[in-house]
Structure 1
Amino acid sequence: MKVLVVCSGGLDSISLAYRMAANKQLIGLISFDYGQRHVKELEFAALCAQRLNVPHDVIDIANVGKHLTGSALTDNVQVPDGHYAEETMKATVVPNRNAIMLSIAFGLAAARHADAVAIAVHGGDHFIYPDCRPGFISAFEAMQQHALEGYADVRLLAPYVNAAKADIVIDGARNGTPFEETWSCYKGGRLHCGRCGTCVERREAFHLAGVEDPTAYEDPDFWIAATSTFKAEEAK
């Protein structure tokens, strides 16, 4: 099966790329510049493609992204600190982001005679992002079957859609993913901040997976307090 992976440069999508390279025929990575403040993540996607010796396409949709206002990732809105499953993290929603990206990815996959597009949405995203949920994945694949009917038959692979972030770390370690060559932080600074939702989630995932975290954080211990506070609030 020839697979094109949507790769942001983050831990999840790079783990997915290594999984596909180990189990399928990985034919390339596709990334998107949508005007995200953490655009440095694309450097890590490029490095992944280089390591796996596959083509890497960066699609510039920044002119689209600038119209998707109100998100902390693309607009003048502060990136919230805290646990990823807190209500405040909804500020990081970019409306319809995955639907837009996947539509383009499926076009490329059809043109290149790929059998599937793979995306690294996971269970931890369900609370915040509607376009990361199982219902969206199955509905989008069904829509694409109609969109490409008679021209191409492209599957949508989302092997982590019901998995926890820690499960992705375990799977990534199994497939030799170089975690130090991945970028998660939404703030896009010199180091991972350690405070934003994705940093807290990343730190917690390594801890729960029992895998050493090679990431340098500006605030490496913030996740402990953030996780404890969230669990206390959840228990009320």
Structure 2
Amino acid sequence: MNGSMMRTQDVPDPPAPPPSGGEAVVVPEVDVEPEVVVPADLVGLLTQDDPGLLTQPVATLIAAGIALVAAGIAWSGVKRQIRANNSNTNRQLATQRFLHRESQKAEVKKQLRADRLEALVEAAGALQEGLLVVIGLDHEVSAQKSGARMWSAADGYVSNRGRRAVAQVRLRLLGLDESHDELRKVNALFDGDLLTELGSMTEPQRKELHQAVDGACQVFKTDLHME
């Protein structure tokens, strides 16, 4: 079998007996072990270490499995980190949107208060001017004077009437209903039956005008919570 057969080395012949007449020679017996020649490739197969279960393919599969498990753990950690980052980003965006809305609300509220304050100041100014214009016009009519001063007082009244009408509309648009209603009452007083009394206005009537204007200004303050 491919040079694997064992062969023995030739054993030398024993020495010839001595000549007759002499002493007998005792030849010791020698045990000769046969020499066995084993091929090198067979020796390698017989003497290699026993790999047991961890043969090269098995070790490769185990290493690949460990690598896959490690990669799976790493990917799971990456996904958790991505979800955490997304969650933090969403919370930050929600907070920013909330703060932006609150900022817009505060800005709108601030602007509305400024507009209301301006409208109420304008309405109060229009009433104070109207009071002076009506009393001045009454004085000019009672003096029965015609000319520039008379026409100037009449023009002042017409201009003030338009100013008070615009102020009344602004109060309504800005949601100042109580102030709007109070201004409407005073405007009706200035522009109604009082006109027929021009030139003959009595002191109680003048006092009534003053009280009406003061009462309207108090309502303006209350409507803006400025008391």
| Structure 1 or 2: more helix by fraction | 2
Q: Which has the higher contact order (CA 8 A, sep 6+)?
A: 1
| Structure 1 or 2: more strand by fraction | 1
TM-score by length of 1: 0.23
**Which protein has the larger Cα radius of gyration, Structure 1 or Structure 2?**
2
TM-score by length of 2: 0.23
